[in-house]
Chains A and B, each alone.
Chain A
């Protein structure tokens, strides 16, 4: 799709360099002349926003790591030292902790956008799968990072999550326990666990950066999908990436950063849990152990199953399901704009995720607000069923029974004139 390169080296040095390593040619073709559908809307700005957030997290993280002490005795104190004694340490740390939340806000919008416009369908399956891998890497990185301040929620969150593996004891006796012990580097979450989590927390962002490279590569082979979900038919449907999309993305990145920084400066602990300002104490369990907000829907699904092993499998299944979406959706039409039924199920699915998130944030014995006879776990159960039903039943079925609206012929000839 990108076609032959239009890069012309301007200087003798550029010519000399280009014939040895066509780095400038690559940058020119991918970031300047790259032909992009002309109708990408606001929701397509989140790729740039995510790249920006990854950069923020890596930069602030590298400096924080210079002051962090990875030991059960020193971690909490060193984080407080960063907050109190390091110049602008409070800014670095609040940018990093809120940055994680805004990274997830952006990735969820990015994923829902892909779902809505059918961006996972042929020929973009690999692009989608790389995206799911990126998301899983983000979840792992965020989990490791949340453990590092070594507060109560860090410690007990790590204990709960790593204990999932002990459910495997139900398949082969002692296997799960053996895996947990191996992961911990001991018989409980402790100093060794904190050290390896720090090591992995430093490693994974660079793995993410590498997979982002693959993700963009896989994007640039078929080119962008677009809100109409139809293929580009020729140059009249396209605009060069620069200056059109650089200008557009720059504005939306600044707007996103504005909201993000408002939280950093004015509500820096909004997304945090107060319990994490109490140093980790292995003999005092907090009344409610809750993960960070971005994992709450999965936590709700886990707890909705009374049997531990099945609960863990349900949670793992809810994540792995995402990998199969390109083949679960049987519709020939990409964009939900032209899929009246899919559009409705999509929004129900969004609400379902929010409800699951709410269920995950409440204590295990909570009741449904307004309906005191109904234990909240039943809401989570229905929500979990719908989550799986949406992907494994609704998606395959809709492609067969739904009548899509007429698609426009080209992007340049807009929706107003129906297809011939």
Chain B
């Protein structure tokens, strides 16, 4: 939002005065890498294959620490007008591979004899179960840091998909001379303060893609970011498609209204 005024004015003022070269300030993050995304632009759509690969990366890597609370399994389906990347049968199989917390059983028990919380097999209507039962457990397992929920992460960060991608590929980079990485943290030039609690999440071949795509870090990061963009904005394709029709209609309407405006005013001058 605050990009409007700043851009215009920064341009104006910078053009008049900025002769001073800025030295790299290591307390500030670098600008994110600009990537080309399938969902960019007014006709942008999600690359289905990238979404499937990205889901695999989320499931096999990210989900061990990051929750995806706002997404349910049936969101993954493209059947019946869905916005996802799998068919209903695949979604059913994916859901069945998860154990989700079960409510009290017929006897009112929420745990079994050993005190372990009851679970049941997931169904498509379930949401992705979180990796930790609560914030305290999440922090205790991650050196005090809280891995953020990933459902809205792309929209909740300045820079969006480019930023998320950059954070992933930048994590664990070699710090420049003179930069002291805090104990227990990792250097990431794109992160505020450049000290990040997340260990470098991806390596080459962290996952094995079934479609034969070579699983480089860049490829995995690109795929999982596409998936996270989808998780944050599942209605993007519907929006772009409807937008095209609405824009075409509005342009036609404006032209017709302009012609009637001209014709009404013809005799008034």
Residue of A nearest to B15 (CB): A370
* A239 and B1 contact, CB distance less than 8 A: no
* B235 and A266 contact, CB distance less than 8 A: no
* B70 and A369 contact, CB distance less than 8 A: no
* A277 and B235 contact, CB distance less than 8 A: no
* A247 and B5 contact, CB distance less than 8 A: no
Chain A CB within 8 A of B240 CB? yes
Interface centre among B6, B10, B240 (most CB of A within 10 A): B6
Chain A CB within 8 A of B184 CB? no
* A277 and B9 contact, CB distance less than 8 A: no
Q: How far is the CA of A54 from the CA of B4 in the complex (A)?
A: 23
Residue of A nearest to B16 (CB): A370
Q: How far is the CB of A16 from chain B (nearest CB, A)?
A: 33
* A271 and B250 contact, CB distance less than 8 A: no
With A80-B152, A83-B235, A90-B235 in contact, is A254–B253 under 8 Å at CB? yes
Q: How far is the CA of A248 from the CA of B257 in the complex (A)?
A: 8
CB-CB contacts below 8 Å: B1-43 with A: 1-6, 8-10, 13-14, 16-18, 20, 42
Q: Hey, which chain B residues are within 8 Å of A247, CB to CB?
A: 257, 260-261, 264-265
Q: Hey, which chain B residues are within 8 Å of A90, CB to CB?
A: 235, 238-239
Q: How far is the CA of A85 from the CA of B117 in the complex (A)?
A: 30
Q: Hey, which chain B residues are within 8 Å of A257, CB to CB?
A: 250
CB-CB contacts below 8 Å: A199-256 with B: 239, 243-244, 247-248, 250-251, 254-255
Q: How far is the CA of A357 from the CA of B253 in the complex (A)?
A: 34
Chain B CB within 8 A of A292 CB? yes
With A354-B8, A361-B2, A372-B20 in contact, is A277–B155 under 8 Å at CB? yes
Q: How far is the CA of A83 from the CA of B2 in the complex (A)?
A: 23
Q: Hey, which chain A residues are within 8 Å of B247, CB to CB?
A: 258, 261-262, 265
* B42 and A258 contact, CB distance less than 8 A: no
With A84-B70, A248-B265 in contact, is A265–B239 under 8 Å at CB? yes
Residue of B nearest to A294 (CB): B1
Q: How far is the CA of A371 from the CA of B18 in the complex (A)?
A: 7
Residue of B nearest to A152 (CB): B156
* B254 and A255 contact, CB distance less than 8 A: yes
* Number of B positions contacting A (CB below 8 A): 48
* B235 and A84 contact, CB distance less than 8 A: yes
Residue of B nearest to A264 (CB): B243
Q: How far is the CA of A170 from the CA of B247 in the complex (A)?
A: 54
With A277-B152, A369-B14 in contact, is A355–B9 under 8 Å at CB? yes
Q: How far is the CB of A77 from chain B (nearest CB, A)?
A: 8
Chain B CB within 8 A of A278 CB? yes
CB-CB contacts below 8 Å: B155-180 with A: 155-158, 160
Q: How far is the CA of A250 from the CA of B9 in the complex (A)?
A: 33
CB-CB contacts below 8 Å: B67-96 with A: 70, 75
> Chain A: interface secondary structure?
helix
Chain A CB within 8 A of B130 CB? no
Q: Hey, which chain A residues are within 8 Å of B18, CB to CB?
A: 369-370
Q: Hey, which chain B residues are within 8 Å of A270, CB to CB?
A: 1, 3
Q: How far is the CB of A2 from chain B (nearest CB, A)?
A: 20
* A293 and B2 contact, CB distance less than 8 A: yes
Chain A CB within 8 A of B97 CB? no
Interface centre among A264, A265, A287 (most CB of B within 10 A): A265
Q: How far is the CA of A268 from the CA of B16 in the complex (A)?
A: 33
* B13 and A266 contact, CB distance less than 8 A: no
* B268 and A293 contact, CB distance less than 8 A: no
Residue in B10, B155, B242, B254 whose CB lies within 8 Å of A269: B155
Residue of B nearest to A84 (CB): B234
With A243-B264, A247-B265 in contact, is A293–B5 under 8 Å at CB? yes
* B70 and A80 contact, CB distance less than 8 A: yes
* A272 and B70 contact, CB distance less than 8 A: no
Q: How far is the CB of A247 from chain B (nearest CB, A)?
A: 4
* A239 and B268 contact, CB distance less than 8 A: yes
* B156 and A251 contact, CB distance less than 8 A: no
Chain A CB within 8 A of B113 CB? no
* B6 and A254 contact, CB distance less than 8 A: no
* A357 and B5 contact, CB distance less than 8 A: yes
Q: Hey, which chain A residues are within 8 Å of B20, CB to CB?
A: 370, 372
Residue in B8, B239, B250, B261 whose CB lies within 8 Å of A250: B261
Q: How far is the CB of B19 from chain A (nearest CB, A)?
A: 8
Q: Which residues of A contact B (CB under 8 A)?
A: 38, 80, 83-84, 90-91, 94, 101, 239, 243-244, 247-248, 250-251, 254-255, 257-258, 261-262, 264-266, 268-275, 277-278, 287, 290, 292-293, 296, 354-355, 357-358, 361-362, 368-372
Q: List 21 A-B contacts (CB under 8 A).
A: A101-B1, A244-B268, A258-B250, A261-B247, A265-B239, A265-B243, A266-B42, A266-B240, A268-B239, A272-B1, A274-B157, A277-B156, A290-B2, A293-B5, A357-B5, A358-B10, A368-B13, A369-B9, A370-B14, A370-B17, A370-B20
